[in-house]
């Protein structure tokens, strides 16, 4: 047994917990702000600490009283409740990094948009080390809701964690004692939502190239009268420009979820490719600063089309 497992019991009152985030991106920062506002002790570790681009994380931590740890293991050894909020492909790697130091009885909430198979693998690692693994599936965009974002929980320890999260202000609901159910719900939703994002970018940009965007949007409005397609286009372009890399990884996991069900993931794989394609161009600063991507979708489409025209002219 490692030394960390022999440490004191986890406090029964969640408001006395020390909480640690592995991953200090958008999710980690928003949730840490809300938990710190309640007076809770919060720490974080991110693989990007120590490298280029770490300053925003360090500035945020200093401004909100979040302690930055040197490693995932150091964080796991010092907290009562671990939240894994990294890119989807790293879900199992985080569990492996935390397991040697996780405290006995500590909850490990996997916030990552990973496939049911990945969640089951991560869960086996944490539970074998003495922790209590719970899968979490965030069911909509986090920023508008913050800590109150609808969250589905799954796994053997989900029902024990649910009232604790409610006490901390989360809108959490245990839906299954079996790992994979909550994540499958999230992944199937993502096939639709992230797929719609990719289709809008592809359809609207192509319509712009042919000069038929007005007719296309009018037809969509007639078919789906409850949606403002102009605003939806602006929003989808912005979110994919800002978070396309993370979305592409999530859709690789969604594709794996489809495969685990026995289907070939044509739609999910295509969505992942389109999300990554936009992310590549955002990395090249085609759309300017990501934080200022909330411009009309036509401006973004024109930049894409201008780049395509320039590339064709070089051939």
Lowest average pLDDT, out of 12-16, 155-159, 244-248, 291-295, goes to: 291-295
Pairwise CA distance, residues 93 & 29, whole Å = 21
Q: What is the mean pLDDT of residues 262-281?
A: 98
pLDDT band at 4 (very low <50, low <70, confident <90, very high): very low
What pLDDT score does 2 carry? 41
What pLDDT score does 6 carry? 35
Q: What is the mean pLDDT of residues 36-51?
A: 94
Asked if pLDDT for residue 131 goes beyond 60, the answer is yes
Asked if pLDDT for residue 5 goes beyond 70, the answer is no
What pLDDT score does 8 carry? 55
Lowest average pLDDT, out of 6-15, 16-25, 214-223, 278-287, goes to: 6-15
CA 131 to mean position of chain CA atoms: 22
Q: What is the mean pLDDT of residues 139-149?
A: 93
pTM as predicted? 0.84
Reported as a single tens digit per residue, the pLDDT across 6-19 is 345 899 999 999 99
Asked if pLDDT for residue 120 goes beyond 70, the answer is yes
What pLDDT score does 33 carry? 98
Lowest average pLDDT, out of 9-13, 107-111, 269-273, 282-286, goes to: 9-13
Give a three-class secondary structure readout of the chain. CCHHHHCCCCCCCHHHCEEEEECCCHHHHHHHHHHHHCCCEEEEECCCCCCCCCHHHHHHHHHHCCEECCCHHHHHHHCCEEEECCCHHHHHHHHHHHHHHCCCCCEEEECCCCCHHHHHHHHHHHHHCCCEEEEEEECCCHHHHHHHCEEEEECCCHHHHHHHHHHHCCEEEEEECCCCHHHHHHHHHHHHHHHHHHHHHHHHHHHHHHCCHHHHHHHHHHHCCCCCHHHHHHHHHHHHHHHHHHHHHHHHHHHHHHHHCCCCCHHHHHHHHHHHHHHHHHHCCCCCCHHHCCCCHHHHHHHHHHHHHHHHHCC
pLDDT band at 72 (very low <50, low <70, confident <90, very high): very high
Pairwise CA distance, residues 25 & 22, whole Å = 9
Q: What is the mean pLDDT of residues 276-293?
A: 94
Q: What is the mean pLDDT of residues 274-303?
A: 95
What pLDDT score does 52 carry? 81
Q: What is the mean pLDDT of residues 270-284?
A: 97
Percentage of the chain beyond pLDDT 90 is 91
Q: Round the average pLDDT of the chain to a whole number and report it.
A: 94
Q: What is the mean pLDDT of residues 223-232?
A: 96
Reported as a single tens digit per residue, the pLDDT across 184-201 is 999 999 999 999 999 999
What pLDDT score does 292 carry? 87
Reported as a single tens digit per residue, the pLDDT across 18-33 is 999 999 999 999 999 9
What pLDDT score does 50 carry? 83
């Amino acid at each position: 047994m490692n030394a960390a497992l022999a440490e004191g019991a986890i406090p029964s009152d969640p408001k006395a917990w020390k909480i640690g985030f592995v991953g200090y991106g958008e999710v980690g920062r928003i949730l840490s702000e809300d938990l710190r506002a309640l007076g809770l002790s919060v720490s974080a570790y991110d693989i990007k600490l120590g490298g280029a681009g770490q300053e925003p994380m360090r500035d945020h931590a200093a401004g909100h009283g979040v302690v930055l740890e040197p490693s995932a293991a150091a964080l796991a050894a010092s907290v009562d409740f671990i939240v894994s909020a990294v890119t989807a492909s790293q879900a199992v790697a985080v569990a492996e990094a935390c397991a040697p130091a996780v405290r006995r009885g500590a909850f490990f909430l996997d916030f990552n948009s990973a496939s049911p198979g990945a969640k089951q693998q991560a869960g086996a690692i944490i539970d074998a080390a003495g922790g209590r693994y719970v899968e979490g599936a965030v069911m909509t965009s986090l920023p508008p809701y913050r800590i109150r974002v609808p969250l589905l929980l799954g796994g053997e320890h989900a029902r024990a964690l649910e009232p604790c999260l409610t006490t901390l202000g989360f809108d959490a609901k245990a839906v299954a004692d079996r790992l994979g159910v909550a994540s499958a719900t999230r992944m199937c939703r993502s096939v639709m939502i992230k797929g719609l994002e990719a289709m809008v970018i592809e359809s609207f940009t192509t319509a712009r190239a042919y000069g038929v965007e007005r007719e296309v949007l009018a037809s969509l409005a007639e078919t789906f009268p409850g949606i403002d397609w102009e605003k939806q286009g602006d929003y989808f372009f912005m979110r994919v420009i800002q978070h396309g890399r993370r979305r592409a990884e999530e859709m690789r996991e969604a594709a794996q979820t489809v495969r685990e069900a026995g289907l070939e993931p044509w739609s999910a794989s295509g969505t992942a490719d389109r999300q990554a394609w936009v992310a590549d161009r955002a990395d090249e600063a085609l759309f300017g600063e990501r934080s200022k991507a909330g411009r009309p979708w036509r401006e973004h489409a024109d930049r894409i089309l201008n780049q395509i025209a320039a590339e064709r002219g070089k051939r």
